[in-house]
Structure formats: structure tokens, C-alpha cells
Amino acid sequence: DAGITQSPRYKITETGRQVTLMCHQTWSHSYMFWYRQDLGHGLRLIYYSAAADITDKGEVPDGYVVSRSKTENFPLTLESATRSQTSVYFCASSERDSEAFFGQGTRLTVV
Amino acid sequence: LAKTTQPISMDSYEGQEVNITCSHNNIATNDYITWYQQFPSQGPRFIIQGYKTKVTNEVASLFIPADRKSSTLSLPRVSLSDTAVYYCLVGDSNYQLIWGAGTKLIIKP
């Protein structure tokens, strides 16, 4: 099925552990994004990618690492998870200057 | 980067037209105005985008005055399923968008 999928949907991890959130899109969109959304707030951009092997920081990149070796995948890694990184993470994709399509989100809890 | 101001919440009733106004005083010449809708536990979904005057699609209309310092999202004849958070965003690219807290719209029967 065409679309954008995130995995896992829910994740509980311990402080200090490394965790990777996966994002896969089937449209071959050039742009992909990672956002976090804290309870009751809007989205904040963590990282984005304009094409394979091109990534750039967003508003809140500290503590996160991304890669984009293939156009369709854009994994987000928390190198050493902290409680402040407890949030809902959304991945999105788009063509340049076009509407963004969002995944269902990953609810991450760091204990 | 242009920031937006919109009401925190609004109530309306089924069958009514709902207008949500957003102010964006420092909008730049190249900026578009985009609205997204978000249901609980889901990612945002694109509603409409415009640059000036009026844009209409199958779900909403977007009114933009000549000075472009504000915009109004109009939802005709809302239903209970339109209860959601609505975000007004301004920017010329997706990676420049600043997401505020949005407007929580509650539709009552």
C-alpha cells in the first residue's frame, strides 16, 4: 500500500539506551521530516532531508541522529535517551513546496 | 520565520459554518499560508493552501486579504467528525514552518 509508515507505534525505553525510530514512504518524495509533538503543543522539527544523503537540522536536533541512505527510508536515532525525549514522534514526506504527508506517529516513553 | 497567532479553542454546532482566523503580521513575500487538521493520536493532515485572495477545495475555503497579514479558514456545515485541532502555518517551504499549538475546534450536536 502506498503511504508513509512508522515503526514501532509505541516504545518504552530506559534512560541512556539507544533507540531507533523507523520511517518508510512509498511515494519517492524528495523531502522527509522528523517532528516531535509534546502533549498539548504543536510540532517541532528535529531534522529534515531534501534527498538521499542530504540531511539538515531543524529546530530541536540535539540528542538525535538521522540518516538517509535510501530515498524511501529516514530513520531517527536517539543516541542516549533522556526523559525529556518522551514525546510523540511524527515522520512526514513531501515534494518541494507541496503538502506534507504524515505518518501515524510513534509514542516514545523514556523511563 | 513568520509566526502565527490563532485562537486556542472554538466551539460550534453541527451544520454551522465555522471560521478560524489566523494572524501572521510578519509574513514574507514568498510565504504561503497552509492549514492542517489533526485528530487525536494521528498525524496532521493537509487541508488547504493559498497565497492570496480565495482558495476553495472540496473540504474548505481559505480567505486571504490583500495585505496577507491574516487568513481565515472556513469550514462549511461542520459535523461532529470535524472536531480536531487546526494549525495555521506560514512559510515558503515545509522545513521553515513553525507549528503553534493550533486551534482546538469542538463541534457539538
Partner-chain contact B95 A33, CB within 8 Å: yes
Question: A71 is written with which cell numbers?
Answer: 530515498
Whether B2 shows a pLDDT value over 80: the answer reads no
Digit-coded pLDDT (tens) for B48-107? 999 999 999 999 999 999 999 999 999 999 999 999 999 999 988 888 888 888 999 999
pLDDT at A75: 98
Round to whole Å and give the CA distance between B98 and B17.
27
Range of weakest confidence among A1-5, A51-55, A58-62, B4-8: A1-5
Task: Tell the residue number behind the cell numbers 481565515, with chain if given.
Answer: B72
Smallest CA–CA separation between A15 and chain B, in Å? 24
Sign for the pseudo-dihedral over CA of B85, B81, B35, A4? positive
> CA of B84: how far to CAs of A49, A71, B37, B45, in Å?
29, 32, 7, 11
Question: B50 is written with which cell numbers?
Answer: 493559498
**Strand partners of residue B39:** none
Closest among A75, A105, A95 to A27, alpha carbons compared = A95
Chain B residues contacting A via beta carbons under 8 Å: 32, 34, 41-46, 49, 87, 92-95, 97-102
Round to whole Å and give the CA distance between A19 and B40.
24
User: In terms of CA atoms, which chain A residue is nearest residue B49?
Assistant: A99
Smallest CA–CA separation between A102 and chain B, in Å? 5
